[in-house]
Structure 1
């Protein structure tokens, strides 16, 4: 009886060890556009947390906003025979090449946060993110309320090589087109960057352009615009400023009244979803080509709900 108990215990221990080994043996390569972006840092942290929770080994690389470097990272992941690859694309127009590389190597690929420009995605490739057709629309509709349906606005765009920037700007333009007394007087890229947004807003203020509202493609640029206004002696509370992402800094600006609206993009949901989708693809499960993580409007009325996110 004792021998049988010891044998059963040994078999159980071996089984558990086998499960642990199988989990730890799963390796996912991750290539992020850049590490110094606040929102993408939240996505990356969520990827790391979910991988740790699932016992997955990660190899996380910073593409430093360089498409060539990112493609090289993907090629290195393939050479190392990782079990799956997660990519936050530097340039979404380069995703067909990335898809081709991963598909040829028969390695599951998950794009996160930025929608790939592939016409269709193979069965072992998926996109985890949010529908950009919603984000700019929510932002612009709230700005129209702030403006009372009239005034001049400027648009700060993200990188023009990125479909999120193009879609968000198109959303704003579509809403403005329905409000004939609102005019877009300036539109230029600040490449998602706070400091570049400060410089851009300073330039617009210096030219004497009358600005009643700012529609920024992300919170970082919106905050840059706010800082520039403060430096110039302009009260941002008297200008309708909108952003997207609901970052910690963005939410703080909503709380202070400097930022009129932001749009919550669930970084944790995207990061967790990317890992879970990659693991499903590794197992051979069928997953949708687009795993939607919905946008949500954030104003002074509901910002507290998002502070913990």
Structure 2
């Protein structure tokens, strides 16, 4: 199905005859900086719409809890559902439950395993993860070359939750870039998951530092892990002017770390735009309008050279 998503709430207001009244939203986790911005994007969009109410619930990183929330939304008669999946490999049951009940469902940010076979009244709104890790790693490659490390550089790779499609794709992006002729001088010394967590990344980086291995860069699947790595390195007295660190999301904490000279590169993922886009899609589907089944909001590279344009984005 190739259909067209309306670009803004204003456009929808002109073309939609009736608003969906209730939208149930299940977020994978409230206690996450990026997902908080996404959740706020949904809420702020709803607050600006007449007659639209959103009920946002925290799945607390529990797949069973999330499926219960979706079934409860269906039983309560919501007009549409938005899901930020806990485990992207466990989305088939959610798709099936919503399809059986005839309730439109929109996945946001994390790609469902069945994205290429979603029913007509379901969609996926996110950014294309092929861009994220590619932009991050290619920029790190350029920085290392500029530092004169083109004859050999060593890097640690921090991965997100291994059950999450974004972590899988961003890690593949890293490997793909390092496989390129101009970047194949980079060696990944070790790769481990820190589950998107700043605290877990601090612990992981501390363990790596205790090994005494020499390294030149840390490539993280997200900003929270990059910040955790930075905290461990600074606690150990490492010179952050020498170690290259990259992340993804361009959260406010990450931008502050970049301004401090600790983070070298991040990639802006428009969390608020994904949230508002998901709500637009959910309402359009609930009102019988045509929506693209895959709606991508572009990633954007952020470095110290262009950081000023992103300081108030999230």
**TM-score when normalising by structure 1:** 0.91
**How far apart, CA to CA, are the structure 2 residues paired with 1:105 and 1:304?**
47
Partner SS state of residue 75, structure 1:
helix
Contact 1:45 1:271 in 2 (8 A): yes
1:307 corresponds to which residue?
A: 311
Q: 1:35-81 CA distances to partner (integer Å, 9 max, x unpaired)? A: 01000000000100001111311111100000010001001001101
CA RMSD in angstroms comes to 1.0
**How far apart, CA to CA, are the structure 2 residues paired with 1:70 and 1:279?**
21
Alignment coverage as a number of residue pairs: 287
1:6 corresponds to which residue?
A: none
**How far apart, CA to CA, are the structure 2 residues paired with 1:276 and 1:26?**
13
* 1:282 matches 2:286: yes
Q: 1:184-235 CA distances to partner (integer Å, 9 max, x unpaired)? A: 0010000000000000000000011211101100000000000000011112
2:89 corresponds to which residue?
A: 93
* 1:39 matches 2:34: yes
Q: What are the residue-to-residue correspondences of 1:46-195 with 2, within 5 Å?
A: 46-55=41-50, 56-118=52-114, 119-148=116-145, 149=150, 150-178=152-180, 179-195=183-199
**How far apart, CA to CA, are the structure 1 residues paired with 2:274 and 2:120?**
20
| Larger relative contact order (Cα-Cα within 8 Å, sequence gap ≥ 6) | 2
**How far apart, CA to CA, are the structure 1 residues paired with 2:285 and 2:112?**
18
Structure 1 regions of 5+ residues with no counterpart? 1-21
2:5 corresponds to which residue?
A: none
Structure 2 regions of 5+ residues with no counterpart? 1-17
Partner SS state of residue 237, structure 1:
coil
Partner SS state of residue 24, structure 2:
strand
1:11 corresponds to which residue?
A: none
Q: Which consecutive aligned stretches of 4+ in structure 1 deviate over 4 angstroms post-superposition?
A: none
